[in-house]
Amino acid sequence: MSVIRKSVPPFSAKVTLGLERGYSGEAIDEQEVIRYIQELQDKQIREKSFYLSVSVSKCNIVLSGQYESHLILEFINYPRFPLDTDVLKKEIEWMTHQLMDKFEQNRTVIQYPDETVMFEKEKAIDPRIIQGNKN
């Protein structure tokens, strides 16, 4: 059996999504997030023939009094469905906005190799975080 090797230029993105609705303390079920990601993927496939694979893992964000469960969504330029970097970023950011709206996230960060992008709906900060400088 022969194996075909296919390569694309490296690309990665990492989105960190909180598992609490806003700053309410109300937990979001991980499976609900995964089901919604699959709905968004199905929409991208149907409408754009766009295949965006996502690796999902758990983590916790710690800052002062905040200790919140999060999901890390990791994306690569998958060689089976290679895409231009600008297109990948646009679609990842679209998905991130959809997730923010659905799960009531005020702020979400995407890490790319060349930049870190923050999407913020308002300047509010989790009340569990001690604020010394109010700027």
Q: H helices within the chain, ranges in order?
A: 30-48, 85-102
Which pLDDT value is given to residue 129? 74
In this prediction the pTM is 0.89
**C-alpha distances out from residue 62 to 67, 91, 116, 122, 132, Å:** 5, 28, 19, 20, 17
- What pLDDT shows up at residue 132? 55
Q: Is residue 134 scored above 60 in pLDDT?
A: no
How many C-beta atoms surround the C-beta of residue 73 within 10 A? Answer: 22
C-alpha separations of 74 from 16, 67, 112, 129, 134 in Å: 9, 21, 10, 26, 32
Residue range 18-75, pLDDT digits in tens = 999 988 889 999 999 999 999 999 999 999 999 999 999 999 999 887 789 999 999 9
Predicted local distance difference test score (pLDDT) of residue 93: 98
Q: pLDDT for 76-119, tens place per residue?
A: 999 988 989 999 999 999 999 999 999 999 999 999 999 999 99
Return the higher-pLDDT residue of 2 and 23.
2
